[in-house]
Amino acid sequence: MAEIFERRRQDRVVKLLKKIYNLFTDHPHSIDESYMAHMVEALLIAGRMYCCFVAQTVHALFPFVHPPGGTDVATMKTFCHNHSPEERKRRKRIIVIKDSDTTY
Residue pLDDT, tens place only, 51-87: 989 988 999 999 898 887 777 788 888 888 888 888 8
Instruction: Give residue-wise pLDDT tens across range 8-44.
Output: 889 999 999 999 999 999 999 988 889 999 999 999 9
Instruction: Give residue-wise pLDDT tens across range 85-103.
Output: 888 888 777 766 666 665 5
Q: Cα 53 vs. chain centroid, distance in angstroms? A: 19
How much is the pLDDT for 98? 65
How much is the pLDDT for 102? 58
How much is the pLDDT for 4? 81
3-state secondary structure of 23: helix
At residue 104 the predicted structure's pLDDT band, cuts being 50, 70 and 90, is: very low
49 contact partners, CB below 8 Å, separation of at least 6: 76
50 contact partners, CB below 8 Å, separation of at least 6: none
- CB contact at 8 A, 68 and 55: yes
